[in-house]
Amino acid sequence: MSAQALHALHRRLRVRRALYVAAWTLPLLIAAGAVLLRFMPPPWAYIGIAILALISVALMVRSVQSVAMQDVVRVLDDASPQLEDSADLVLGDPGALTPLQRLQRERVLARLGGAASSTPMPAFPTRRFVFASALAVVVFVFTLIWPGMRDAADSDVGQAQREGPVVATQTRLVSTRIDIEAPAYTALPPRSESTLEVETAEGSILRWHVVLDPSPSEARLTLHDGTEIALGREGEGWSGTHVLRESTLYRIDVGDAPPLVEDRLYRLDAIADLPPDIRVIAPDRTLSLLEQEQPTWPLQFEVSDDYGVGVARLTVTLAQGSGEQIAISEQELILRGAAGGNPRQRGYRHALDLGALGFASGDDLIVRLGVSDTRTPTANTARSASYILRWPSKLSAEAEGVDGIVQKVLPAYFRSQRQIIIDSEALIAERPTLAADEFVKRSDAIGVDQKILRLRYGQFLGEEFESGGGPGPTASEKDEDHEHEEAEAADAALPEGHSPDDGHDHTPAGFGNASEIVAEYGHTHDYAEAATLLDPETRRILKAALAEMWQAELQLRLGKPADALPYEHRALEFIKQVQQSTRIYLARVGLELPQVDEKRRLTGDRGNARSRTIALAAATSESAALVAFHDALASGGAPSTAGFEAWLREHETGLEDGLGVVAALDAWRRDADCAPCRDRLLDVLWPLLPAPATGVAQRARPGDVADVYFDSLREQEQP
């Protein structure tokens, strides 16, 4: 037997000690690891676990190292009396020993084998192990039931896997992405948002990519208005598409699966494409007067739009002539913006060549710019105000100062008498070349014209339209009792060389329409004296003109245009007189009180007038439901939302941010204990509250001292 037994014992002791340390550190290590994984982000948790494991290994190494050979000897000596406390002699160098020691060494060596095998190992640290295990179990259970952290760890896949075995009571949004593709015309680049709330141009295509855990059997998005967007499976997750036409709210609906962790309304804001904004730089006023020697009219516009400016059309209207002879011509020019630059902002310059337009004295030139943007399918269009360039004529200066009450007599109605004279003269000149029938027929046609003209003037005097009687016998059956047909007939019977748009009026459309209505719904039974449109003098002249027309018509219908001419000329004369007093004075209508009953006046008889009670009740606000809900909410209660919801449904469209209110209400209703949700709801309700009538404060009671003071003041006042 040698020292080998001793070394074996040493090794056994060391292993045993290492195992003991491992036995009590391992539960602690597991518990600490569970805590770290539960409450720390994974990399840190793993680092922590590694550090703890190292510490544990270090403890084992230290405990192993702490078992020295002397310890083995001591243990042996303690355990085996037959070694006679001399086990250390085995370790020593036999050569260095005294003979007695050598002898003893031999004896010990002989007994060592049996002693070593029978040496008891150190006791298992039961108390330490039990304590550590109990602590580990407690900590482990604690980490499992601890409620926090779970909600915040939304994108942590690793954690989700660890929690896998636990039955999911809520569905988590593992990842969310919305790809946004704005309409092509906006030229906005496609982008992705990782949130569920987006704000983007209207008409954008939104594509959701949502990964849910646990994955439900079906999923869809439910819009605020009830529309549903089905989500289709896409790999691990779900995807769906929606074209955003207007702002809305939506919720992710997972069907039968456990509810979402954060089941709330998400908001989609559509940014509307606004029509272009036109800024007119020149001219700087709406009405400019032509300056001397001005060959062109410079115009300058600046247009801006949120995405791009489209076509710019300049409408140029030239109103020429005055009085009876106003001709209007309109043309449209397409302006080209300054080349290059920002498509969202364009400048336009254009100089209108007045000479080329035929602009003359007394004319008005009116321009207006219309700009559309690039929006599809329908472009937004904006129009500028109208800008007028006027070449002042001498006549127009007269009306200064009395514009408000004076109106020019409608010149269009007074136009055609001259034409009838021209037609008549032409007919007389043609007479030799025409057949008698033809001549009479054309003369009669002029007569019909004359009749229509007379009837028009007659209307000004309040005459019945039909006062002229039926058309002559030669008139065809087209000329029935109905004026619109007559008007058509007149139109159709225009003499050669006349077209409906030859510069003078044959059938003023507005007039015809008015008479149609009269014809359809009844007759006008005005009497001439009540026609307040004209002053008595004008009316007298007009009446004379009508009489002349009547005679002219008579002659024309009889086929005697030559006889009709003097009447026609006189009628024109009168009409010119009317034209020269080209003003109609409209009477101002004032307050008309009922007549004072003179019989009862100053008699002291008050009839049945009695004192009365006129009770006034406080106004009831239509927002009462809102106010009640707000007040209850503000005072910390949990009011019923029924009344408020009814109110909201009724008013939602009129609110500035109706969707915001709906979303805030929904968030609060889902979790009534959530203080930020309540605050948010109160925030959005505040602007909606109606302003109540200002309340009155009563002054505080001043107290007895003040009463005595005021009473003594009064006694001084009244000695």
Partner 1 sequence: MNAPLLIGAALLAIALIASWRTWRLRRSGRIWRIAAQFVLAALLYLVFHPPQRPLADQMLVVLTPGITVTQRDMLDPSIRTVSLPGVVPAASAESVPDLATALRRYPAIRRIHVVGAGLPARDRDVARSRVVSMDFSTAPAGISELHAPAELKAGSTWRVHGRVDGITEGNVELLDRAGRIVSRSALDAAGRFNVDAAVRTAGISRFVIRALAADEQVVEEMPVEVVVHAGDALRVLLIAGAVDAELKYLRRWAVDAGVELGVRMAISRGIALRDGVARIDAESLGKSDLLIADERSWAAMSAIEKDAVQEAAQQGLGVLLRVTGPIPTSVRKEWEALGFQVEAAEIGRAVMLPTLAAGPDETVELARRPVAVAADDAAPLLVAGDGTALASWRAHGRGRIGVWWLEESYRLVLAGNAARFGMLWSEALRTLARANAPSPPSLRERAWIDQRAVVCGVGEEAMIESPDRVRTALRNDPLTPGCAAFWPTQAGWHRIVEGESHTNIRVHDPLQAPALAHADTVQSTRRVALGAREPPLAVATAAAPRWPFFLAWLLVAATVWWSERRTVAETDAPESS
Query: Taking a C-beta distance cutoff of 8 angstroms, is the pair 409, 582 a contact?
Result: yes
> Taking the complex as a whole, how short is the minimal distance between the CB of residue 667 and partner 1, in angstroms?
16
Q: Determine the Cα–Cα distance for residues 596 and 608; give it in Å rounded to an integer.
A: 18
Task: Name the one range near partner 1 by CB under 8 A: 184-192, 236-244, 412-420, 678-686.
Answer: 678-686
Q: Is the peptide bond before 276 cis (omega within 30 degrees of 0)?
A: no
Residue appearing with tokens 């009844």 = 522
Binding letters toward partner 1, positions 130-169, x by CB under 8 A: ----------------------------------------
* Per-residue tokens: 75: 């243990």
CB nearer to partner 1: give 235 or 695: 695
Interface with partner 1, residue 710, by CB under 8 A: yes
Interface with partner 1, residue 635, by CB under 8 A: yes
CB nearer to partner 1: give 529 or 631: 631
Interface with partner 1, residue 611, by CB under 8 A: yes
Of 658, 597, 548, 564, give the one whose Cα is nearest residue 248: 658
> Who's near 24: CB < 8 A, 6+ residues apart?
125, 128, 129, 131, 132
Dihedral of CA 570/573/575/581: which sign?
negative
Degrees, nearest 5: CA angle 124-129-134: 155
Helices (H), 40-125: 42-65, 69-79, 88-91, 99-118
- Answer for which of 435, 530, 617, 705 binds partner 1 (CB under 8 A) is 617
Maximum C-alpha span of the chain: 183
- Answer for which of 631, 646, 672, 674 binds partner 1 (CB under 8 A) is 631
CB nearer to partner 1: give 506 or 630: 630
CB nearer to partner 1: give 588 or 699: 699
- Answer for which of 432, 701, 704, 719 binds partner 1 (CB under 8 A) is 701
CB nearer to partner 1: give 587 or 618: 618
Q: Determine the Cα–Cα distance for residues 389 and 366; give it in Å rounded to an integer.
A: 6
Interface with partner 1, residue 601, by CB under 8 A: no
Task: Name the one range near partner 1 by CB under 8 A: 2-10, 210-218, 451-459, 690-698.
Answer: 690-698
> Taking the complex as a whole, how short is the minimal distance between the CB of residue 715 and partner 1, in angstroms?
10
CB nearer to partner 1: give 152 or 609: 609
Interface with partner 1, residue 530, by CB under 8 A: no
Burial 205-229 (b: 16+ CB within 10 A, else e): ebbbbbbbbeebeebbbeebeeeee
Interface with partner 1, residue 602, by CB under 8 A: no
Residue appearing with tokens 């007479």 = 431
Interface with partner 1, residue 694, by CB under 8 A: yes
> Taking the complex as a whole, how short is the minimal distance between the CB of residue 464 and partner 1, in angstroms?
46
> Who's near 55: CB < 8 A, 6+ residues apart?
none
- Answer for which of 618, 653, 705, 719 binds partner 1 (CB under 8 A) is 618
> Taking the complex as a whole, how short is the minimal distance between the CB of residue 692 and partner 1, in angstroms?
4
Interface with partner 1, residue 610, by CB under 8 A: yes
CB nearer to partner 1: give 280 or 664: 664
Q: Determine the Cα–Cα distance for residues 482 and 521; give it in Å rounded to an integer.
A: 12
CB nearer to partner 1: give 153 or 655: 655
Interface with partner 1, residue 69, by CB under 8 A: no
Helix (H, G, I), strand (E, B) or coil at 456: helix
Phi, psi dihedrals of residue 517, rounded to the nearest 5°: -65, -45
Beta strands in 374-434 (DSSP E): 381-383, 387-390, 406-408
Interface with partner 1, residue 311, by CB under 8 A: no
CB nearer to partner 1: give 95 or 692: 692
Helix (H, G, I), strand (E, B) or coil at 244: strand
Q: Determine the Cα–Cα distance for residues 624 and 627; give it in Å rounded to an integer.
A: 5
Interface with partner 1, residue 614, by CB under 8 A: yes
> Taking the complex as a whole, how short is the minimal distance between the CB of residue 707 and partner 1, in angstroms?
6
DSSP letters, 353-415, are EHHHHT--TT-EEEEEEEEEE--SSS--EEEPPPEEEE---SGGGGGTT-TTTEEE--GGGG-
CB nearer to partner 1: give 436 or 700: 700
Helix (H, G, I), strand (E, B) or coil at 355: helix
Task: Name the one range near partner 1 by CB under 8 A: 192-200, 202-210, 391-399, 611-619.
Answer: 611-619
Q: Determine the Cα–Cα distance for residues 306 and 308; give it in Å rounded to an integer.
A: 6
> Taking the complex as a whole, how short is the minimal distance between the CB of residue 694 and partner 1, in angstroms?
3
* Per-residue tokens: 615: 């009770």
> Taking the complex as a whole, how short is the minimal distance between the CB of residue 573 and partner 1, in angstroms?
55
- Answer for which of 530, 714, 716, 719 binds partner 1 (CB under 8 A) is 714
- Answer for which of 255, 341, 470, 702 binds partner 1 (CB under 8 A) is 702
Interface with partner 1, residue 687, by CB under 8 A: yes
Query: Taking a C-beta distance cutoff of 8 angstroms, is the pair 250, 222 a contact?
Result: yes
Q: How would you write 275-341 as a 3-class SS string?
A: CCEEEEEECCCCEEECCCCCCEEEEEEEEECCCCEEEEEEEEEEEECCCCCCEEEEEEEEECCCCCC
Count of residues touching partner 1 (by CB under 8 A): 42
Interface with partner 1, residue 627, by CB under 8 A: yes
Task: Name the one range near partner 1 by CB under 8 A: 64-72, 480-488, 504-512, 692-700.
Answer: 692-700
Interface with partner 1, residue 711, by CB under 8 A: yes
CB nearer to partner 1: give 563 or 652: 652
* Per-residue tokens: 572: 């024109």
* Per-residue tokens: 503: 């510069």
Interface with partner 1, residue 634, by CB under 8 A: yes
Interface with partner 1, residue 653, by CB under 8 A: no
Q: Which residues bind partner 1 (CB under 8 A)?
A: 606, 609-619, 627, 630-631, 634-635, 682-684, 686-687, 689-702, 706-707, 710-711, 713-714
